[in-house]
Amino acid sequence: MVVMASDIYNIFGQMTVLVIRFFYCYMHIQTWDHGEIMLPAQLESLKKFHGHLGPYVVVGLRMGKFAVEKRGVGGKKLKCVVKTGTKPPISCIIDGIQFSSSCTLGKGNISVEDKGLAEALFFKDDKKIKIGLKDDIKSRIDREMSKENEEELSLWVYEMSAEKLFNISIE
Ligand SMILES: [Zn+2]
């Protein structure tokens, strides 16, 4: 029996298809069949803290993280003013900020203004940073958010670059 190069090519091709199919099924079992998305550890912790995981609490996490990590305003003297008001879902931003920065209600260095805006101001010494959610991102969240897809939208917000997510001004 003569083994042709084309036979080897075919066998290799079929095995590749099988491997791809196996991983495709495996990924589905990991996500859809259990009705849950695999979340990064930080989002699992945030979900425990906040009681559920939605896009606005993740927006808050990203705001706090950005101020502390990228702009180096973390630590004791940091203060924050959040402009969301206290009506969910937009007010979920407050919990995300408390989770990711040192600004907490218990320490008294966070306050809330009732403006209904997805915006926060961070102050430290003479530095002031204004971080606002971009209009197109906010529109999509408000349009698409539901109980069924809130974790999917949360991941979308979590993985987006700060430039796409926020309008940032530093004074
Ligand atoms: Zn929430």
What is the tens place of the pLDDT at every residue in 136-169? 999 999 999 999 999 999 999 999 999 999 999 9
Q: Are residues 53 and 25 located together in one domain of the fold?
A: no
pLDDT at 106 over 50: yes
29 and 50, same domain (yes or no): no
**Pairing relationship of beta strands 119-124 and 166-170 according to DSSP bridges:** unpaired
Q: 129 C-alpha vs ligand 1 centroid, how far in Å?
A: 24
Please check whether residues 46 and 116 belong to one and the same domain: yes
CA of 141 to the centre of ligand 1 (A): 13
Looking at the fold, whether 152 and 86 belong to one and the same domain comes out as yes
Q: Number of structural domains, the chain? A: 2
Determine the structural domain holding residue 5 and report its residue range. Answer: 1-36
pLDDT by residue (tens digit) across 7-44? Answer: 766 777 777 777 767 666 566 545 544 457 889 999 99
Average pLDDT value over all residues in the chain: 88
Give me ligand 1 centre to Cα 53, in Å.
6
C-alpha 35: how far from chain center = 19
Specify whether 134 is located in the same domain as 158: yes
